Amino acid sequence: MPGIRIVGMVLAAVGVVAALAPHWFGPLTQATGPTADLFEAVERRVRGGMVLGVGLALVAVPALRPWSVSIAAAIFWFMTGALAARLLGMVVDGAVPRQWMLVGVEAAVMTGAALWLWRSSGGAA
């Protein structure tokens, strides 16, 4: 197993824990204390989800070339981590309308990356 994949697995594990307990990773998630703002509480979890997404991208992208596949896959997996953490935060902390808008944006970017991957692979499953 290449070293980059091991680093990816470690980052994914750290990202999961940071999304579940953002107060444990204060410098990473900027969670210095409790907040009454629901939007900020969810965003703290999303920062951990971004670390999760980077880890997933490092595990999923086997090579940098062809660029059309690696860039789309990295975008897809990065957004997957952020979206998973955002949805977790909305379930645990509560939802505000602005969060739903960001869920839509992230889902749209993921859909675009998935279509890009599908088209790059010639439409084969």
| 16-52 CB burial, b ≥16 within 10 A, e <16 | bebbeebeebeebbebeeeeeebbebbbbbbbbbbbb
Task: Dump pLDDT digits (tens) for 50-92.
Answer: 999 999 999 988 777 787 788 999 999 999 999 999 999 999 9
Q: Say how far apart CA 118 and CA 109 lie, in whole Å.
A: 14
Domains of the chain by residue range: 3-120
pLDDT of residue 123: 62
pTM: 0.86
Res 119 pLDDT > 90: no
The first and second tokens of residue 93, run together, are 């902390």
Q: Say how far apart CA 24 and CA 26 lie, in whole Å.
A: 6
The first and second tokens of residue 112, run together, are 């675009």
pLDDT of residue 49: 95
Res 27 pLDDT > 90: no
